[in-house]
Amino acid sequence: MRKLNNRIVKVIKNGKQMTLPVTDEIKLNLGDQYYVSQLDNGEIVFTPLYQDIFSSPEFADLDFSQAEMDFGKFMGEEKLDD
């Protein structure tokens, strides 16, 4: 995990929303989505929202299983399921 120097940011008003600016030290892409939660101690946590590729129509026809591979000769006392 990369440690960043502590930065102080000020909550600003952006239309009807409040915004916490993010410094460019934090690597984000425009359009990334995050779950946001606030802990009992007031700490705000942003967790990346990852796409579930198994339920995405974009990957519906993709076979996620891998073909069995031949790695050559056995090296020791491997047990075979014949």
Instruction: Give residue-wise pLDDT tens across range 30-40.
Output: 889 999 999 99
pLDDT at 43: 92
CA dihedral 58, 53, 50, 67 (to 10 degrees): -130
Higher-confidence position of 3 and 14 = 14
Higher-confidence position of 16 and 23 = 16
pLDDT at 42: 93
Regarding pTM above 0.75, the answer is no
